[in-house]
Amino acid sequence: MRSVVVYSGGLDSTVLLAHLLAEGRETHAFTVNYGQRHAREIESAKAVCAHYGVPHRVADLRALQEVFGSNSLTNSAVDVAEGHYTEETMKTTVVPNRNMILLAVAAARAIALKADTLAYAAHGGDHAIYPDCRPEFADAMDRAIAIADWHKVRLERPLVSWTKADIVKRGAGLGVPFALTWSCYKGGDTHCGRCGTCIERREAFHVAGIPDPTVYADDAPPVATLAANGWTL
């Protein structure tokens, strides 16, 4: 079976990549540069794909940056919120219609490669937060992609029922090179350890009971402090 993975270089999509490879699939990684705040995650995507020897394509859609408006992922004028996510701080990280755009472009690649499936890493922890990670969104996209071309591609979400901690456990079992992956929204040489996605990453390793190989900034709060303030997972 041939599959294309919508691949960001982050923890979730890397475990998804490794998961499909472990099933013996011919797997291709597809990354989109949509004008993200930093290119650090794309560098990680390239490093992980080199590690696995996986074909990797990066699509340059940076011209879309100006249409996304005010959000902290594509607009450097908007501060990246720190601390545990709340409903309001999560909204500042939403890139309008991002997953529909990524899936549409990745579907074109999957069709061109005559792939059987297109996979993305929406998971159990995302559904209540991001509208474009909800099952009804993915089901609608699956139907649309299936009729977009004579060659039928199925959209799949193998991690859909998993928590972030479940993803870390699966990745550890597969020997995923977690240190090569990137989550931090701020970029830089090390993870800040303070933004919402860094805290989610740290929580996931802690809850999973897996050592976290990530290098965090010197001023990042200790894991014990985060735990004392209550995990969000």
Beta bridge partners of 216: 191
Residue 71, pLDDT score: 64
Q: Are 118 and 107 a contacting pair, CB within 8 Å? A: yes
Mean pLDDT score across all residues of the chain:
87
Query: Quick one: DSSP state of residue 34?
Result: S
Helix ranges, 1-56 (H)? 11-22, 40-52
Query: Quick one: DSSP state of residue 193?
Result: S
**CATH number assigned to the domain covering 2-77+97-183:** 3.40.50.620
Tokens in use for 193? 């350890």
Q: What is the per-residue pLDDT across 83-92, written as a single tens digit (0 to 9) for each?
A: 665 556 656 6
- Give the relative orientation of helices 40-52 and 11-22 as an angle to the nearest 10 degrees: 20
Q: What is the per-residue pLDDT across 51-98, written as a single tens digit (0 to 9) for each?
A: 999 999 999 998 888 887 766 565 566 566 666 655 566 566 666 788
Interval 140-154 mean pLDDT:
97
Q: Is 35 left (phi over 0), alpha (psi -120 to 50) or beta?
A: left
Q: What is the per-residue pLDDT across 131-146, written as a single tens digit (0 to 9) for each?
A: 777 888 999 999 999 9
Q: d(Cα 3, Cα 7) in Å, to the nearest integer?
A: 12
Beta bridge partners of 30: 6, 57
Q: d(Cα 165, Cα 189) in Å, to the nearest integer?
A: 25
**pTM value?**
0.90
Interval 101-120 mean pLDDT:
97
- For residue 181, the SS3 value is coil
